[in-house]
């Protein structure tokens, strides 16, 4: 039995979204501006929290290398070599350049910021002169937080947190402006899908799924490889497939389905419950594996590995880690 069309005020509001950016900018202009804000948010982590940063990137690289279905970066083949270079350079500027060469999607960068902010939550309250906790207890707790992100200069962490928060807010604000440009297009597709599946899935859920996929597409888009609009259109069938799953499996909850497909949560799911000891261990392993480039030399792996050499490197990583 076909369900009746249900009116949705949320859908109407989304469909009538006002675009704050009135000009039609190019894909490069949109994404380069977003990346400018995002790189500025990540830079303090790279500069002042290198153990945390190295460990986070090492976990992402090892996860993608050992799990073919995981895709954090557009080019998997160069990641292990670049990781070795990153862990071996003391220069924050060079580390940033290497990170950019890795071409991780923006969801990974947002996830790094999220994890850093989670680990440092409560630090500012402890730092406040108005805190009711004993001074010794506050100092001990602050030091544990500083160590959790590898910040040796504790006096800098407060400032670092402000910088990260400022640029992270800027990045999320501008990403929201990009999403506005594609919200009406997504809502039109969502309405069609809602009707095609006989109104089985609530229109609000269908709308949220389509917006989720738009967000994910923006995170994954590389403007060098095509136009953002075309890229987003290429991702929208994924939203339709998610709605189809909900329609065909009524017991499947919207929350479970979107949790598995949400860009930020998807990236977070492969890096659960980070501790500083884990991060240190991962960074240490990377340094132990190739402190001065011996691995690449002994295995005959050049800067850019062939497929066979890449498989050889994967076998080596599996053996070591």
- More reliable by pLDDT, 304 or 307: 307
User: Does the pLDDT value for residue 266 go beyond 90?
Assistant: no
> Cα angle at 250 between 248 and 255, to 5 degrees?
110
| Cα 85 to Cα 93: distance, rounded to the nearest angstrom | 13
For residue 308, being part of any structural domain is answered with no
| Cα 220 to Cα 71: distance, rounded to the nearest angstrom | 10
For 138-196, write each residue's pLDDT tens digit.
888 988 999 889 887 666 899 999 999 999 999 999 999 999 999 999 999 999 999 99
What pLDDT, on the 0 to 100 scale, is given for residue 255? 56
Residue with tokens 């497909």: 261
Number of domains in the chain: 1
By the 10 Å C-beta count (0-12 exposed, 13-18 middle, 19+ buried), 292 is classed as exposed
For residue 88, being part of any structural domain is answered with yes
For residue 189, being part of any structural domain is answered with yes
Q: In the predicted model, what is the mean pLDDT of residues 117-143?
A: 87
Kindly give, in sequence order, each residue whose CB lies less than 8 Å from that of residue 101, ignoring residues fewer than 6 positions away. Answer: 78, 82
What pLDDT, on the 0 to 100 scale, is given for residue 240? 92
For 184-240, write each residue's pLDDT tens digit.
999 999 999 999 988 888 999 999 999 999 999 999 998 777 789 999 999 999 999
For residue 310, being part of any structural domain is answered with no
Burial pattern 236-245, b for ≥16 Cβ within 10 A else e, equals beebbebbee
User: Does the pLDDT value for residue 313 go beyond 80?
Assistant: no
Q: Which of 62-66, 81-85, 150-154, 262-266 has the highest mean pLDDT?
A: 81-85
For residue 320, being part of any structural domain is answered with no
For residue 305, being part of any structural domain is answered with no
For residue 314, being part of any structural domain is answered with no
Domain coverage including residue 43: 9-269
Q: What is the CATH number of the domain that holds 183?
A: 1.10.601
Residues in the chain: 321
| Cα 35 to Cα 270: distance, rounded to the nearest angstrom | 23
Residue with tokens 């899908």: 193
For residue 216, being part of any structural domain is answered with yes
């Amino acid at each position: 039995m076909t369900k009746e069309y249900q009116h949705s005020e949320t859908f109407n509001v989304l469909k009538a979204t006002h675009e704050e950016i009135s000009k039609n900018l190019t894909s490069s202009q949109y994404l380069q501006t977003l990346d400018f804000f995002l790189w500025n948010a990540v830079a303090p982590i790279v500069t002042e929290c290198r153990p945390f940063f190295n460990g986070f990137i090492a976990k992402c690289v090892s996860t993608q290398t050992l799990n073919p279905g995981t895709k954090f970066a557009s080019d998997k083949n160069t990641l292990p070599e670049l990781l070795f270079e990153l862990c071996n350079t003391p220069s924050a500027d060079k580390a940033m350049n290497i990170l950019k060469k890795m071409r991780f999607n923006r969801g990974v960068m947002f996830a790094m910021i999220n994890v850093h902010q989670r680990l440092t939550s409560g630090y500012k309250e402890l730092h406040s002169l108005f805190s009711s906790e004993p001074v010794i207890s506050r100092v001990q707790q602050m030091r544990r937080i500083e160590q959790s992100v590898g910040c040796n200069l504790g006096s800098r962490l407060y400032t670092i947190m402000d910088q990260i928060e400022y640029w992270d807010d800027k990045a999320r604000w501008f990403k929201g402006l990009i999403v506005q440009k594609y919200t009406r297009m997504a809502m039109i597709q969502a309405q069609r899908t809602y009707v095609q599946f006989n109104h089985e899935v609530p229109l609000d859920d269908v709308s949220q799924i389509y917006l989720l996929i738009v967000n994910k597409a923006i995170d994954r888009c590389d403007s060098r490889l095509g136009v953002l609009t075309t890229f987003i259109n290429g991702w929208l069938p994924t939203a339709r497939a998610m709605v189809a799953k909900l329609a065909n499996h009524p017991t499947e909850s919207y929350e479970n389905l979107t949790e598995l497909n949400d860009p930020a949560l998807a990236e977070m799911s492969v890096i659960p419950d980070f501790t500083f000891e884990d991060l240190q261990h991962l960074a240490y392993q990377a340094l132990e594996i190739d402190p001065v480039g011996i691995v690449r030399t002994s295995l005959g792996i050049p800067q850019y590995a062939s497929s066979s050499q890449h498989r050889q490197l994967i076998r080596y990583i599996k053996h070591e880690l």
